[in-house]
Amino acid sequence: MGRRVAHGGAVLALAVALALTACSKSPAEQRAAAEQALAEHRFNDARIALVAALEDAPGDAELLGMLAQTHLERGDGEAALAALERLRRAGGGPAAKLDLMEAEAQLLRGQFAAAAALAGKHESAEAYRLRALAAIGTGDLGAAEQLFVSGAGRTGTKVRLYADHAIFALRSGQVPAARALVDKALAADGEALDPLIAEGRIASSEGRPRAALAAYEKAAHLYPESQAALFGRIGVLGDLGRIAEAAPLIAQAAAAAPNDPRVIYLQARLQAEKGEWRAVREALQPLERSELPEVRLLYARALLETGLTEQARTILAGLIRETPGLLPAQRLLGRAQLAGGEAAAAFATLRPVAARPDASPADLSAFAEAAEKSGNASAAREIFAAIPPAQRLARELAAGDAAIRQQKWRAAIESYGRIRAWTGDSNALVLNNLAYAMGQAGDVDGALPLAEKALALAPDNASILDTAGWLALQQGNRERAADLLRRAAATAPDNPAIRAHLREAEAR
């Protein structure tokens, strides 16, 4: 569903250069180059080779069919239609295949009625998929669901139908149904782009970021020009707090499509990580009416951080109206209302957040402030009475542990940072886990002092020795690292991770 995105003018200079080089090749060499590029999913290269080959054979139906498919893969509906018109004049291809290719081109152009009419002439699973996407385009979601279901009983390949149906189910909040559908798609073809992208999105929604990242990385390897795979990788790395790894990918996306709203948003996320909220606000201001909730959410945060509380409240209230229960928006709106002196409104906004079983200490703290300032302290006490202090600590420890297991480093840092605020520097494992998460997120300089504090409290703990040694190695202190890791290996000789760290320290 929406899997292909056309590359913009950033590719033009490269295309011209390659086209000049291509002029020296024979028609047979151009055809072979196009076939190889298509097999390797390098669609920009394929387009250049096909255009050159068609100079010598303008009516070659096979080349025209390849060119039309290439334009579809690149997301260029207009160019695909032009190639299909030439292909029809050349008498190439079965009518059904040409109709479905043209229907997909019309979908890319936003011409949903035309797409539905073309696909409606046929009864294959692919025809039903295209009709379902056309129905989504016109807002008829009930018809789209029926078409997806009916298409599963038709003839022909169903890989893309299952994948698009999975994304549709995910958008409707039906995560188990989406999982079942994407599993069918992957079982049918585990290397097709659509199922891999769907797997990434669904795994993310299931709280399995490592599985999501694996799917996006596989898609990026097999389809090197896929922007969906690129944006998916960036998004998951950002969620995991692995910003240093995301940065070069964002630069890659910006080089390919500098004006793409998704690229602008990702660049703003990098600025937000650095606390550059004024720059974030300026970057996202042209996108304040974006259909992407994450864009408006980050823009509202930037407004709030730069003192434009009223504008932030307006955007956040709109987001919550559109998507009731959007937790990040509720949290920010409560904060904005508190900043604007609307304590009673903040109390009403934050009460359902604080009453959630997974409410964080930060949620509870903000709610307590709103309750006190609005004269509702007794109502707040009722909620807090149901959560004993020990349970709050246990909840935060569980959240931090889960974040580390899932490699969500930012979330782990936040959880263990809150626990440290409660317990001080008295718990070695809290300090160790916080140091480990900070190191994984790239903040080795900030992590190492915490690891040393943990080591002072528990000098014989293998995990703490390993964390301190590994961080020392990252900072370039090989001698100190090797000493700590030898002690860790002696304490836990069967731990493969410690042995691997020690080998690396001794090899440097």
- Domain membership of residue 42 (yes or no) is yes
The pLDDT confidence band at residue 18, using thresholds 50, 70 and 90, is: very low
Tokens matching residue 170 = 């995910």
Q: Which of these three, 69, 93, 117, is where a domain ends?
A: 93
Q: Please, what sign has the CA dihedral across residues 152, 154, 159, 164?
A: negative
Cα 260 to Cα 454: distance, rounded to the nearest angstrom: 45
Whether pLDDT at 55 is above 60: yes
Q: Residue 336 contacts by C-beta under 8 Å, 6 or more apart in sequence?
A: 300, 304, 309, 312, 313, 316
Supply the pLDDT for residue 12.
Answer: 39
Q: What is the mean pLDDT of the chain?
A: 87
- Domain membership of residue 66 (yes or no) is yes
- Domain membership of residue 242 (yes or no) is no
pLDDT tens digits for 332-356? 999 999 999 999 999 999 988 887 7
Q: Which of these three, 93, 119, 149, is where a domain ends?
A: 93
Supply the pLDDT for residue 376.
Answer: 85
Structural domain of 493? 425-507
* Residue showing tokens 């718990």: 427
The CATH number of residue 453's host domain is 1.25.40.10
The pLDDT confidence band at residue 508, using thresholds 50, 70 and 90, is: low
Supply the pLDDT for residue 24.
Answer: 60
Whether pLDDT at 200 is above 80: yes
**Which of 11-15, 79-83, 407-411 is the most confident on average?**
79-83
Supply the pLDDT for residue 491.
Answer: 83
Supply the pLDDT for residue 3.
Answer: 45
Residues 230-246 have a mean pLDDT of 83
Q: Which of these three, 49, 67, 93, is where a domain ends?
A: 93
Cα 133 to Cα 145: distance, rounded to the nearest angstrom: 10
Tokens matching residue 395 = 């909840």
The pLDDT confidence band at residue 16, using thresholds 50, 70 and 90, is: very low
Supply the pLDDT for residue 391.
Answer: 62
| Phi, then psi, of 55 in degrees rounded to 5 | -60, -35
- Domain membership of residue 433 (yes or no) is yes
Whether pLDDT at 80 is above 90: yes
Q: Give the total number of structural domains in the chain.
A: 2
The CATH number of residue 37's host domain is 1.25.40
Supply the pLDDT for residue 8.
Answer: 40
- Domain membership of residue 501 (yes or no) is yes
- Domain membership of residue 53 (yes or no) is yes
Lowest mean pLDDT among 244-253, 307-316, 429-438: 244-253
Supply the pLDDT for residue 233.
Answer: 92
* Residue showing tokens 């196009």: 34
pLDDT tens digits for 85-116? 999 999 877 899 999 999 999 999 999 999 99
Supply the pLDDT for residue 361.
Answer: 65
**Nearest 10 degrees: CA dihedral of 378, 382, 385, 391?**
-120
3-state secondary structure at position 123: coil
Cα 419 to Cα 393: distance, rounded to the nearest angstrom: 7
Contact 310, 340 (CB under 8 A): yes
Whether pLDDT at 280 is above 60: yes
Task: Compute CA 112 distance to the chain's CA centroid, rounded to the nearest angstrom.
Answer: 27
Q: Please, what sign has the CA dihedral across residues 479, 485, 490, 493?
A: negative
The pLDDT confidence band at residue 6, using thresholds 50, 70 and 90, is: very low
Following DSSP, what letter does each residue of 357-383 receive, concatenated? TT--HHHHHHHHHHHHHTT-HHHHHHH
**Nearest 10 degrees: CA dihedral of 133, 138, 141, 143?**
-80
pLDDT tens digits for 282-317? 999 999 888 888 899 999 999 999 999 999 999 999
Residues 163-188 have a mean pLDDT of 92
Reported as type and span, the H/E element at residue 182 is helix 175-188
Lowest mean pLDDT among 180-194, 298-312, 494-508: 494-508
pLDDT tens digits for 437-483? 999 888 899 999 999 999 999 888 889 999 999 999 998 898 999 99
Following DSSP, what letter does each residue of 420-479 receive, concatenated? HHHHTT--HHHHHHHHHHHHHTT-HHHHHHHHHHHHHH-TT-HHHHHHHHHHHHHTT-HH
- Domain membership of residue 38 (yes or no) is yes
- Domain membership of residue 491 (yes or no) is yes
Tokens matching residue 1 = 């569903």
Helices and strands in the chain, H and E counts: 30, 0
Q: Cα–Cα distances in Å, from 304 out to 54, 354, 439?
A: 56, 21, 29
Supply the pLDDT for residue 7.
Answer: 40
